[in-house]
Amino acid sequence: MTTLPTVFITGASSGIGATYAERFARRGHDLVLVARDKSRLDNLAARLREASDVAVEVLQADLTSPADLSALETRLRDDARIGVLINNAGTPQSGGFLEQSAETIERLITLNTTALTRLAAAIAPRFAQSGTGAIVNIGSVVGFAPEFGMSIYGATKAFVLFLSQGLNLELSPKGVYVQAVLPASTRTEIWERAGIDVNTLPEVMEVGELVDAALVGFDRRELVTIPPLHVAERWDALDGARQGLMSDIRQAHAAEHYQPQARGDRKN
Ligand SMILES: NC(=O)c1ccc[n+]([C@@H]2O[C@H](COP(=O)([O-])OP(=O)(O)OC[C@H]3O[C@@H](n4cnc5c(N)ncnc54)[C@H](OP(=O)(O)O)[C@@H]3O)[C@@H](O)[C@H]2O)c1
């Protein structure tokens, strides 16, 4: 009998992370759950042990704390039972760019990008060496949409997509699966944390539907899973356009429309 890998989930105390925990427990995986709110993690862990008869460990950690982050990195490096990393913890942006303080910018970028990257980097060498393992990074469709007025949050989520695409190219030949999951509006506490009443949104996906769809993509070993995207070809077209653009980058010379005017036309 093969033992299922343990799943390590950040931001597991609520919303998407807690739902991933519930779904992987149902599939029979042991879990390591990470977040700041220990009592919520303990309650979830007790419920999952009872319902699914799996081992659930709780690690209280603030991913913006250097000491906490480094302890989690050590755990990911050393614990060979951990075979799936769900890089889910994230924080929203409240207010526009002009309303941000140094602290809110620092926290948002540290949690949404630095912590996610460092955890992936801690586990990737072990996965690459064993030729197995999965890294799931939770991005957002906001990463496609500067129009939404969440410039810093969106930039962190564009980072998550790019990082996942790059990691896929580097790690999939070594047997490591990388997935970027891009939700749109999903009913979780993130909206309250951003100071927005979720009930004022025109359309919202329920969190169970979001995670179940993400897991369909996971089971298919899809690189980019966008549960709310109803025309899958849109993603293929976007990625195709990107590759087309790259094929027209010629490094030796500036494009014709950037060539300075002929010498005779120039004022000296
Ligand atoms: N809901 C949406 O509409 C939506 C859409 C697109 C993308 N997403 C992304 O989905 C992911 C999960 O968000 P969610 O919607 O499920 O929101 P959520 O319910 O607010 O969950 C966020 C989780 O992150 C944890 N967390 C926050 N700050 C942390 C920190 N400093 N250290 C450790 N853990 C921290 C929270 O737990 P503690 O407070 O206990 O630490 C919580 O478990 C995020 O990356 C978010 O950007 C959400």
For 40-72, how does the pLDDT look when each residue is reduced to its tens digit (9 = 90+)? 999 999 999 999 999 999 999 999 999 999 999
CB 12 within 8 A of CB 36: no
Rounded Cα distance between 178 and 128, Å, is: 12
The pocket around ligand 1, CB under 6 angstroms, is made up of: 11-17, 35-37, 40, 61-64, 88-91, 111, 138, 140, 183, 185-186, 188-190, 193
Give the tens place of pLDDT for each residue, 216-257: 999 999 999 999 999 999 999 999 999 999 999 999 999 999
| CA pseudo-torsion sign 191, 196, 197, 201 | negative
| Residue 111: half-sphere exposure toward Cβ, Cα within 13 Å | 22
CA of 137 to the centre of ligand 1 (A): 12
Please tell me whether residue 118 adopts helix, strand or coil conformation.
Answer: helix
Tokens of 145: 């949409």
CA of 88 to the centre of ligand 1 (A): 7
List the CATH number of the domain containing 191: 3.40.50.720
pLDDT at 261 (0 to 100): 78
Q: What is the mean pLDDT of the chain?
A: 96
For a ligand 1 pocket test, name from 23, 164, 190, 193 the mutation site with the most ligand atoms within 8 angstroms of its C-beta: 190
Q: Per the domain annotation, does 1 fall within a domain?
A: no
Sorting pLDDT into bands at 50, 70 and 90, what band is 268?
Answer: very low
249: left (phi over 0), alpha (psi -120 to 50) or beta: beta
pLDDT at 53 (0 to 100): 96
Q: Per the domain annotation, does 261 fall within a domain?
A: no
- Number of domains comprising the chain: 1
Domain residues for the domain of 101 are 6-233
Q: Per the domain annotation, does 262 fall within a domain?
A: no
pTM exceeds cut of 0.85: yes
Report the share of the chain in percent with pLDDT over 90.
96
Q: Per the domain annotation, does 59 fall within a domain?
A: yes
